[in-house]
Amino acid sequence: MKKTESNNLLNLHGIKFYRSGTPILDGIDFQINSGEHWVLLGRNGAGKTTLVNLIYGSVWPTAGRINLFGETFGETPLQILRNKIGILDSSQQESALQKSLTVYDVLLTGFFHTIGFYRESNAWEEKEAERILEENGFGAKRNQLFRTLSSGEKKKILFLRAMCTSPEFVILDEPCSGLDLTAREEFIDFLDEYKKNRNFTSIYITHRIDEIPPFYEHAALLKSGKILFSGEIKEAFSSARLSDLYDRKVEAENRNGTWVAVTERK
């Protein structure tokens, strides 16, 4: 394995991605340091999901280089890198999960880095799954079918599933999609409480600034496959930058840790 000289956890260098000759990502340079929490903010179709798929190794860049955990993609077996990543992508995970899985089963699959059961669990994994459910208020729902949970509960279990192996890097891809206001706020509170006693690095992908947990302090703005800005979240959320990102006048306010976007109606 060839290690990079950088101490950054993630480095994207000159990333380009074309689909059928159309540029989806065009010249992405971006980096995340260990222990940082980043928001990737962009409108629908900006290229956010493609960028996530590149970071996870689901697709390969047309041009450019990806370094993760000091290793260069293409020079290190991807599974070695994926084993250090936790991912919550409910749009794909919920539909792919086997319908007969209980809450306990779904959490247990996180130790396998698979969506379903493809091997026997061991005693340590089973004990850990029990502990995680109990510590996070889901002990009583252990044997309930996952598909019968509320939307908010499903998101929480999928997050715990992503975190069960204590990954070094966590990807949260549109985690609040499909949640009503109450469920969304409960999920964000759940993330914020979970973070208080744990150290990890993460990237949170969204198109709404009011869905961002309060502990996120960095942001990258993605528009039409290009990074408009990356840096401190307060700088990213200036009126000029957000107005450019959304193509309309936007003012951002932080109200007790919650970002709020104020727009002018036409």
pTM (two decimals):
0.91
Angle at 65 between CA 203 and CA 26, to 5 degrees: 75
pLDDT tens-digit series, residues 114-164? 776 667 889 999 999 999 999 999 999 999 999 999 999 999 999 999 999
User: pLDDT band for position 99 (50/70/90)?
Assistant: confident
Q: What is the pLDDT of residue 1?
A: 36
Q: What is the pLDDT of residue 44?
A: 92
In the chain the domains, ranked by start, together with CATH numbers, are 1-84+168-266 (3.40.50.300), 96-167 (no CATH)
pLDDT tens-digit series, residues 18-49? 999 899 999 999 999 999 999 999 999 999 99
Residue 129 pairs with which residues in a beta bridge? Answer: none
**Phi-psi category of residue 45: left, alpha or beta, with phi > 0 → left and psi -120 to 50 → alpha:** left
Cα–Cα distance for residue pair 174/177, rounded to 1 Å: 6
Q: For the chain, what is the mean pLDDT?
A: 91
pLDDT tens-digit series, residues 49-85? 999 999 988 899 999 999 999 999 988 888 889 889 9
